[in-house]
């Protein structure tokens, strides 16, 4: 099993170093090399500057600020940092593309989907909305529709992380790729115990996260347009 407790203490998520360190070496090496060629010193400084801009952006992008979940297990927290774009109630027979998700994960129930959109400037480390046990986690291949398209929740490439707590409350986390952003990562195993607000995974350079909950068991606390912080902002409360 993945030990996400260690990731909690990483100021920069370890996955980012494979991009940061090569850019740093290329910037220093290329810049110094060009500066030793007569007439190309300006190009060396330019190359070094561009590489450093890239390094600084990667350091910012892969940052992992400390998050503290609010006290009270009744609080269900956001899985991603960004802006809430939609809060939608769905049943398995309402005819919408989202109904297929309800049919698979919440059969016979009414579910609520809270969609959060991320920009490249948001923290891209994702967190768990509830604690409990991971009962399902997998990556599903698919299309690359715009994430604002309702169909993207079903048809785009995405991850599925389903957590169930001791009271039987299920929470579905879906990391969804877009037309440009095509990689999402989760660091969990099926059967693994997890804590509310703990690290789930990461999205690469923006995208969308959908949190699905049984509508009859929760009261939604956010609305479209609200800013949210992963692991801290309460998006719903247990009834």
Q: Catalytic amino acids?
A: 207
Contacts of 42 (CB under 8 A, 6+ apart): none
- How far apart (Å, rounded) are the C-alpha atoms in residues 45 and 31? 6
- How far apart (Å, rounded) are the C-alpha atoms in residues 135 and 132? 9
Single out the residue of 140, 102, 126, 92 nearest to residue 194, CA to CA: 126
Single out the residue of 117, 112, 126, 230 nearest to residue 170, CA to CA: 112
Residue with tokens 């049984």: 214
- How far apart (Å, rounded) are the C-alpha atoms in residues 231 and 69? 6
Q: Cα-flanking dihedrals φ and ψ of residue 217, to 5°?
A: -110, 0
- How far apart (Å, rounded) are the C-alpha atoms in residues 172 and 160? 7
Q: Is 169 in contact with 111 (CB distance < 8 Å)?
A: no
């Amino acid at each position: 099993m993945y030990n996400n407790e260690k990731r909690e203490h990483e100021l920069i998520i370890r996955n980012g170093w494979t991009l940061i360190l090569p850019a740093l070496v290329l910037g220093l090496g290329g810049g110094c090399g060009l500066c030793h060629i007569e007439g190309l010193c300006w190009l060396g400084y330019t190359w070094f500057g561009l590489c450093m801009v890239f390094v600084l952006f990667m350091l910012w992008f892969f940052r992992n600020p400390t998050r503290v979940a609010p006290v009270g297990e009744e609080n269900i927290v956001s899985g991603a940092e960004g802006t809430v774009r939609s809060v939608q109630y769905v049943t398995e027979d309402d005819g919408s593309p989202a109904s297929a998700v309800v049919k698979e994960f919440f059969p016979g129930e009414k579910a609520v989907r809270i969609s959060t959109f991320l920009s490249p400037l948001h923290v891209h480390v994702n967190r768990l909305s509830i604690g409990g046990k991971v009962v399902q986690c997998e990556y599903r291949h698919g299309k690359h529709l715009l994430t604002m398209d309702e169909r993207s929740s079903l048809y785009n490439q995405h991850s599925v992380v389903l957590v169930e707590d001791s009271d039987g409350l299920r929470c579905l986390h879906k990391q969804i790729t877009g037309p440009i952003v095509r990689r999402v990562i989760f660091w969990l195993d099926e059967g693994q115990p997890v804590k509310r607000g703990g690290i789930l995974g990461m999205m690469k350079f923006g995208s969308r996260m959908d949190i699905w909950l049984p509508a009859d068991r929760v009261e939604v606390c956010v609305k479209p347009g609200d800013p949210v912080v992963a692991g801290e902002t309460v998006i719903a409360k247990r009834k």
